[in-house]
Amino acid sequence: MASLLIVEDELEVADSLKDYFSLHGVEVFIANTGEQGLEILAEKKPSVVLLDMKLGSGISGLEFLRKAKAAKSTAQIIVVTAVDDQNVSTMARGFGAADYMTKPLTIPDVERVVLSRLKK
């Protein structure tokens, strides 16, 4: 079964995405901190990670990416940020991000990017 880890500190956003992808037959895990996300990444080995770059507390999205890469995770990580910044995009891709999306997210855009990654 395809699986998705959502690392997002905004609970409403995480829950909405979980509900949506669960209805499409995707097993969804939610982490509200980067540390929790790394634990789930190691334990559940999701196919795709939807990673918010600016997490409220603990490690940042970039630090999550760096640690996931160091742990040799095979998950395709899609970075989500409110800042459309080429430098952040370049750094995220340098740390292994498979894709980059800017907020506000729309369901059709997230669906297109996540489902295309789940099929790979």
Instruction: Tell me the C-alpha distance between 106 and 70, whole Å.
Output: 31
| Residue 109 confidence (pLDDT) above 80 | yes
Instruction: Tell me the C-alpha distance between 48 and 117, whole Å.
Output: 7
So what's the pLDDT on residue 113? 94
Instruction: Tell me the C-alpha distance between 8 and 61, whole Å.
Output: 10
Contact criterion met (CB below 8 Å) for 72 and 48: no
So what's the pLDDT on residue 104? 87
| Residue 83 confidence (pLDDT) above 80 | no
CA dihedral 12, 18, 20, 21 (to 10 degrees): 160
Q: How many domains does the chain divide into?
A: 1
Q: Which domain holds residue 80?
A: 3-119
**CATH code, domain carrying 34:** 3.40.50.2300
